Amino acid sequence: MNKPAIVNCPTCDTKFEWTEAFPFRPFCTDRCKQIDFGDWATERFSIAGEPCLDPSKLGEEE
Ligand SMILES: [Zn+2]
């Protein structure tokens, strides 16, 4: 008989069995999956944000 592997959820570090009982693996629950994806998306957006030139600052050298 094969024993299911025990894995740790990357989000909450809960140990659970790698079986059909956990369809959201490698996360223990759908919630943990959403949390991890949210972190990833937030990081992406923060990198994308660059300050724009402020039009009111142009022409001040005159
Ligand atoms: Zn979890």
pLDDT digits (tens, 9 = 90+) for 18-57: 999 999 999 999 999 998 877 766 766 665 556 667 777 7
Q: Does the domain spanning 6-48 belong to CATH 1.10.260.40?
A: no
Q: Which residue has the higher pLDDT, 53 or 13?
A: 13
- With residue 15 as reference, give the H or E element that holds it: strand 15-17
Top-confidence residue, 10 or 45 = 10
Question: Residue 27 Cα, ligand 1 centroid: separation in angstroms?
Answer: 5
**Ligand 1 centroid distance, CA of 14 (Å):** 6
Partner residues linked to 7 by β-bridges: 16
Compute the distance from residue 25 Cα to the ligand 1 centre, in Å. Answer: 9
Listed as own residue / partner, the contacts of 2-10 with beta carbons closer than 8 Å and 24 or more positions apart are 10/36
Cα(4) to centroid of ligand 1, in Å? 18
pLDDT value for 19: 95
pLDDT at 62: 62
Extents of the domains making up the chain: 6-48
